[in-house]
């Protein structure tokens, strides 16, 4: 069975985000009331697995081992749906 997964990868709070700082400065310069900005990645995957539990386990393994750098990034599985 096929499953669609959405994974968000973000820098850990303790890691400086220069891209986020640049975007925040640009937004403030343009007049937007922004405090801080953090830049991340949104990854959408289609996974083939026999059941939802296996699909979830596979996506979590991908998040830990491939999609994120565990030293400086966190990942979060936001959504897992069966593909129609």
Q: What is the pTM of this model?
A: 0.84
Can you give the CATH number for the domain in which 65 is found? 3.30.1280.10
Q: What is the pLDDT of residues 14-34, one digit of tens each?
A: 999 999 999 999 999 999 999
Tell me how far apart the alpha carbons of residues 12 and 69 are, in angstroms, rounded to a whole number: 10
**Predicted pLDDT of residue 80:** 82
The range of the structural domain enclosing residue 74 comes to 2-82
Q: Is a pLDDT exceeding 70 seen at residue 84?
A: no
Total structural domains within the chain: 1
Tell me how far apart the alpha carbons of residues 65 and 77 are, in angstroms, rounded to a whole number: 14
Q: What is the pLDDT of residues 36-61, one digit of tens each?
A: 999 999 999 999 999 999 999 999 99
């Amino acid at each position: 069975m096929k499953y669609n997964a959405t994974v968000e990868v973000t820098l850990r709070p303790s890691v400086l985000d220069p891209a986020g700082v640049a975007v925040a400065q640009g937004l403030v310069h343009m007049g937007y009331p922004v405090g801080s900005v953090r830049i991340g990645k949104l990854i959408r995957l289609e996974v083939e697995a026999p059941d939802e539990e296996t699909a979830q386990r596979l996506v979590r393994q991908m998040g830990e081992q491939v999609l994120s750098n565990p030293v400086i990034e966190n990942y979060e599985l936001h959504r897992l749906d069966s593909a129609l």
